[in-house]
Structure 1
Amino acid sequence: MSRSYKEIAETGVQELYEVTSALESVRAIFTLMLETFPEDSTPHAFAQLGTIEITDWNTKVYQWCECMENELDDANAEAQNAAPLPHYLLDQRSNEVAEAISAERSHATRWWTHLYEMRRRKELPDWMAAGVGTHDEHDLMLESRKAVNQALFGSDDLGGAQEYREVAL
């Protein structure tokens, strides 16, 4: 599961509000101690210190929550007001992605071809030759490429001539 930074920040703010609620519960315990123990007792002194600390931390956490909510509101407003990327930039990025994928595929095909030839000439160790450079592996590679093309470009066209197994060796 992958969440955006915005979703993580929103979750963090909600959980910090829950922390302020928990701190209020602890304050209630200290308040009960203040009412129960005599003023000159050690438990009463600890309860006073606890109340001061809880108040300080509760204030800090609450201020942090408000600050984060303001930042999230500003980020949401900026996102809504942001102009979409111009079409030519989207086209340029698409072309760059397509070129990078094509370069990676050329590299992978080159290595697949080398491994296929080494397997065919029985130059690979047995443990490697069984699953490397086979026609089934090549077919899986082409299917993976189609899936990537479909996900990124909305088409499973691989472009150019793609050689499929015609004769089993």
Structure 2
Amino acid sequence: DFIHPCNNTEPACLIKATQDAILDFSKGLPHLGVPPLDPFVIEELPIQLPGIKVTFYGGKATGLKKCQVLNVEAYLERNIFTIEVRCNITIKGKYTAEGRLLLFPINGEGDSKIKIVNSIIKLNINTKYYKDKEGRDHFGIKSYKYTFDYGERIHYTITNLFKGNAELST
């Protein structure tokens, strides 16, 4: 019931169907084993930056349910779909950081909040048809790739970046 079929590959119909599906998927589909996507739980996310290793953990990303679908293309003969969405995403959680930032040694841990404004996510999805034990046809995802453009700007709010140095950490 959460996916509205389109009779063809008309972009307007595909965009509306995808926009509607995002709202349902963001709540989760427990009967299908799909957890909620908004908030999206980030158990651990290590990021290696030049000179600094940052690990985010115990976090939640919100804003995915409000993503705006910009484009959807369906190549049915090749079982390929491409989806492009624009999102404002906020990530709150804890972090640890070690390394150097210019002349300053970094050894911090604390709370973090990251706001990503107008990010663009592009998905390329390869699909497949398969039969279940009763011989019924089902449609599923075979593989996918994505790109993430950070968009217009990113706001970082972090506490205790320079552990033990209150002047630099504020």
TM-score tier by shorter-chain length is: under 0.3
**Pair member with larger Rg:** 1
Answer 1 or 2: which has greater helix percent.
Answer: 1
Relative to its length, the structure with more strand (as a share) is 2
What TM-score do the two structures reach when normalised by structure 2? 0.25
When the two structures are superposed, what TM-score results if normalisation uses the length of structure 1?
Answer: 0.25
